[in-house]
């Protein structure tokens, strides 16, 4: 059975006790969190945040550059004033290179020039070090003219084996 088969019945249960309809659009904690799409990462509960507290911007790896469009909207239109990069151990982004992914995709579509051409232009933004990738993302955001100048930007790593979070050691850099 598809995952969506239980959506309706499970949502009925959720909605039956729902009491958050009063929440405003701007995140209450003025926080934008950039994190990975990994199914084991659930930043609200892992960081003690509640529904309505933060923007959670997700993509494969939680790459800041890919999140920039959302960060700009978050800051300029919805008032967030703090950014946290939230990476995790065991991230899939540590396990491949862009060229390996391109090869898999090309081999899935043998002889398909449109696929080959499209995939050549796609950068999968993999990384080989969690700490260094967090640091690089913070530097990218601090150096980007679209990110508001006084924004505190911190980096965090979540351990998928223990549930523990720590601040990235190399993330405490000044502008
Ligand atoms: Zn990940």
> Which residues hold their Cβ within 5 A of ligand 1, which is an ion?
36, 38, 91
Q: Beta strand 165-167 with 82-88: parallel, antiparallel or unpaired?
A: unpaired
Token reading at 121: 């232009």
Best CA proximity match to 168, nearest among 139, 141, 130, 137: 130
CB distance 85 to 64 below 8 Å: yes
Distance from residue 147's CA to the centre of ligand 1 (Å): 24
Q: What is the mean pLDDT of the chain?
A: 95
Residues 84, 74 contacting (CB under 8 angstroms): no
Residue entry with tokens 């405003």: 24
| Rounded mean pLDDT, 101-128 | 95
**pLDDT attached to residue 29:** 98
pLDDT > 90 fraction of the chain, expressed in percent and rounded: 95
Ligand 1 centroid–CA 142 distance in Å is 22
What is the C-alpha radius of gyration for the chain, rounded to an integer number of angstroms?
18
User: What is the tens place of the pLDDT at every residue in 70-79?
Assistant: 999 999 999 9
Give residue 1's pLDDT.
Answer: 74
Model confidence at 61: pLDDT above 50: yes
Q: Is 91 annotated as a binding residue?
A: yes
Alpha-carbon distance of 150 to 173, in angstroms, equals 13
pLDDT digits (tens, 9 = 90+) for 2-53: 999 999 999 999 999 999 999 999 999 999 999 999 999 999 999 999 999 9
- Distance (angstroms) between ligand 1 centre and the Cα of 59 equals 8
pLDDT of the residue at 171? 53
Residue where the block lists tokens 């800041």: 64
């Amino acid at each position: 059975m598809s995952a969506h088969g239980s959506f309706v019945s499970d949502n009925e249960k959720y909605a039956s006790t729902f009491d958050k309809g009063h929440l405003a659009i701007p995140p209450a904690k003025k926080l934008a969190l950039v994190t990975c799409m990994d199914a084991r990462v659930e930043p609200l509960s892992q960081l003690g945040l509640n529904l309505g507290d933060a923007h959670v911007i997700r993509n494969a790896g939680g790459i800041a550059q890919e999140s920039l469009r959302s960060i700009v909207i978050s800051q300029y239109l919805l008032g967030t004033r703090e950014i946290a990069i939230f990476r995790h151990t065991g991230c899939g982004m540590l396990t491949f290179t862009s060229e390996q992914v391109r090869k898999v995709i090309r081999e899935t579509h043998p002889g398909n020039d449109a696929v080959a051409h499209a995939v050549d232009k796609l950068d999968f933004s993999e990384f080989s070090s969690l700490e260094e990738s967090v640091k690089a993302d913070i530097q990218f955001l601090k150096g980007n003219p679209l990110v508001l100048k006084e924004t505190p930007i911190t980096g965090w790593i979540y351990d998928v084996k223990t549930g523990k979070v720590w601040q990235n050691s190399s993330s405490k850099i000044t502008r």
